[in-house]
Amino acid sequence: MTGGYRETYDRWRTDPQGFWAEAAREIAWTKAPERIFDASAGVYGRWFPDARLNACFNALDRHVEAGRGGQVALYYDSPVTGTRRALTYRELLDETATLGAALLDLGVSAGDRVLIYMPMIPEAIVAMLACARIGAVHSVVFGGFAAKELATRIDDAEPKVVLTASCGVEPGRIVEYKPLLDLAFTLAKHKPATSVVYQRPQARADMKEPRDRDWTALVEAAKTAGRRAPCADLAATDPLYILYTSGTTGTPKGVVRDIGGYLVALKWSMSAIYDVKPGEAFWTGSDIGWVVG
């Protein structure tokens, strides 16, 4: 990017709408945008207000359809558990579509919020993609956050479902998530209908019926029934996710990212700023509870 910075900047400055219209061609749309930016809409304007697409399709399906299903999409390497996995695009799509079907079976639909309170494991990525696939708005909360902070985010986002794991594994200790989640449910005014718990071998969570559901059992039931969630056809201006600020200067603020603008800018950034090419690996050391994760 450094060598072409001035040219890129001048091109954007000369024709900003044309610049982002060109970037938008890299995204798969169900209805391509005819309008790029509406400055009069909302507080900050709206990107691609007449377009439609699905974020999960762009992340997974398009690559499988293009013949890259056998290529690795996600590497998981945990030094604290000694666990390594490599998921291909096809495998990740299968897990995502199945979990999406399980969420639909729980009554989650487009526009509903789903809170994700999980450690850095592949299932957390599957959870985000499954929400994007069915049009649910996910909100990732840093795994192991204290119950009071978690309750604050539950009250603000008002999720229908919470996806969690039994524990997180840190150097020298196991952090059990379920007791923290149970206390957060008690503290929160909003009461999510369901929590789905992924049981990890390092610690088993105590389940509270009928609210708590077993992740593996739900996924296996959907798989046995041959259920796979299709990609919802969504407006580019629909929300993709909510991510909260730390709250160190007051009440945490929920930052909402819409689908179209986020995907176009992210795709452009991966190439123009990070210089990532097809087949290369991209690593970030940040937790998925923060935007750079």
Q: Does the residue 292 lie in any domain? A: no
- Does residue 293 lie in a domain region? no
Count of structural domains, the chain: 1
Q: Is 284 part of a structural domain of the chain?
A: no
Output the 3-class SS for 35-79.
CCEECCCCCCCEECCCCEECHHHHHHHHHHHHHHCCCEEEEEEEC
The span from the CA of 80 to the CA of 167, in Å, is 13
What average pLDDT does the chain have?
95
Query: Looking at the domain assignment, is residue 277 inside a domain?
Result: no
Q: Does residue 287 lie in a domain region?
A: no
pLDDT digits (tens, 9 = 90+) for 32-86: 999 999 999 888 899 999 999 999 999 999 999 999 999 999 999 999 999 999 9
What are the residues whose beta carbons fall under 8 Å from the beta carbon of 63, sequence distance 6 or more?
A: 69, 71, 73, 89
Q: Shortest CA distance to 72 belongs to which of 62, 63, 82?
A: 63
Query: In the predicted model, what is the mean pLDDT of residues 87-95?
Result: 98
Q: Which two tokens stand for residue 263?
A: 């995907």
pLDDT confidence band for 3 (50 / 70 / 90): low
Indicate which CATH number applies to the domain containing 89.
3.40.50.12780
| Straight-line distance from the first to the last Cα atom of the chain, in angstroms, rounded to the nearest whole number | 22
69 in any annotated domain: yes
Cis amide bond preceding 210, omega within 30? yes
Q: What is the mean pLDDT of residues 158-173?
A: 96
Beta bridge partners of 76: 85
Give the pLDDT confidence of 195-244 residue by residue, as tens digits: 999 999 999 999 999 999 999 999 999 999 999 999 999 999 999 999 99
- Say if 246 falls within a structural domain: yes
> What domain range is 60 assigned to?
5-272
> Does residue 161 sit within a domain?
yes
